[in-house]
Every structure is written in structure tokens, then in C-alpha cells.
Structure 1
């Protein structure tokens, strides 16, 4: 069962984090970017697994957990791998932002399909 409260909290926090991260990247403050990016990545993974009705796995077994997801963005493995390897790069932030948008769309699609049943 999808926890609406958790999803709402994650999406609201992402909006604030996104603004904060954009300011850090705009100011080229790479040393301050890592921690908020790590938090945003963890929140994204929680979001992704919650909409799939699963608990997020540990980082060590993350790849195996991604294979079992019914709702996930295209090329998630490659994109997430890039983000995890280089979280301080601006392109990682751009990819993470796109992944958030795609998962929000998947979640909306999932809700519509379940409502029609």
C-alpha cells in the first residue's frame, strides 16, 4: 500500500532541497553540495520504493532491489549509478531532478490505473 503522507513529505522537501541545491551549484560551492545531494538521493530512493510498495534496500544491494520494481524510470540503473558516483556534479543534480519528475508521473499513472480497477 502506498503511503500518501510519506510521498507528500518527500515531494515537498524536494522542492525546498532543489532550490537550495540550485543556489549551491550557482555559487559553485561543491564542498557544500555533497550532504544535501546525499539526502536528496536517499529521499528519491525512498520515494521510488514506497510507490512500488517496498522498503528501500541497503546501498550494497541497491542494484538487486531496482530490478524488482514495477514502476521505475527508463535507464534508472545507469542514471542512478552516475548520480551515486558523482553526487557533487551539476549534471548529477539535473539527472536527479529529472528522475523526481519521472517518478511523480509514474506515481500519477499508477494512481489512475488503480482507481480504474
Structure 2
């Protein structure tokens, strides 16, 4: 059974890039919360009883990458048509999902968007020069070069995540 819950967006999740100065979000408890970035993380902050994808829920972590493969094709069409304005909301969502992907791949929830660099700089599984590359994307999400960078970041992180998963499987006694 699903129920709708209104949650106050914590101040450390409120840069206008992702929430456009909204104060509240609505989640559908009992459903998968991958329709907007950071819903699982905000629900966790409010101590709502939900799945915690960062705690060994490989299927949900991989859905972030699957979502990217779909959104990447939509973005490709926008950029091929030189429609930066149309690409912008998809790039912002994809950037948010990437932040989730990096944290969840390292078995952590997203703790802050306003200070994301502190959290991700400490993570062991991450692409090379990730912070510099993400800073560029944050400052100009509707540029084609940002799309290319985000594509590379997703690919690199997915490879590292898959590798770390395989290594953990080999280390785990049967």
C-alpha cells in the first residue's frame, strides 16, 4: 500500500539547481523513489522507514545507471538539435542522480548537496578528477561539454562499481 508523505527539504539539500527553492517534497511511501533525485536520502534524513539503497541494494544502485542510459539518449537529441534550454532539466536531474550513484556505490546516503564536495572527496570508489569535472557541470549544466563530462563520469563510475562488487564477491566466504 502506498501513502503520500510531505517532507520538508532540509537546508543542506536546497540549492536552487535541484529544488528551485521549493520547501517541500512529496514521496509515495511504498513505491520506488527514483522519479526525482535525493528522495531516498531526504526520507532517510527524516527517519522515514524506507529502503536504504546504499545498504547493499545493488538493484536500486544499478537502476541509477539504467536511468542514465535512457536520459543520455534524450539529452543527445536535445544537444544534436542545439536545444540547451530543453536539455537543462534533464542534465540537472542526471547530475543529481549521479551524486546519488557515487554515494550509494560507496554504501552511503547523500548527506548534503550544499557541501557535496566534502562527502564525495572521501569516497574510495570514484572517477579521477571527479570534483573538478562535477564543478564544471554544476556551473554550466546546459552545455554540451558538460553532457560529455557527465557521460564519461557515469561510465567510469559504473566500471569502478562493477569491479568493486566483483572483488567483494570474491572476498566473501561461501
TM range (shorter): over 0.9
Q: Deviations over 1:12-37 (max 9, x none)?
A: 21111000000000001111111000
Per-residue deviation at 1:2?
2.8
**Counterpart contact for 1:14–1:40, Cα < 8 Å:** yes
TM-score after normalising by structure 1: 0.95
| Larger strand proportion of the pair | 2
**Counterpart contact for 1:2–1:52, Cα < 8 Å:** no
Measure, in 1, the Cα distance between the counterparts of 2:148 and 2:56.
26
Matching residue of 1:13: 67
Higher RCO, 1 vs 2 (CA within 8 Å, ≥6 residues apart) = 1
Please give the root-mean-square deviation of Cα atoms over the aligned residues, in Å. Answer: 1.0
Measure, in 2, the Cα distance between the counterparts of 1:5 and 1:23.
28
- Unaligned 5+ segments in structure 1 are none
Q: Which of 97, 100, 109 pairs up with 1:46?
A: 100
Matching residue of 1:26: 80
- Unaligned 5+ segments in structure 2 are 1-54
Measure, in 2, the Cα distance between the counterparts of 1:39 and 1:100.
13
TM-score after normalising by structure 2: 0.65
Larger Rg: 2
- 1:108 and 2:162 correspond: yes
| Larger helix proportion of the pair | 1
Count of residue correspondences:
117
Q: Deviations over 1:66-97 (max 9, x none)?
A: 12201000001100100111100000000000
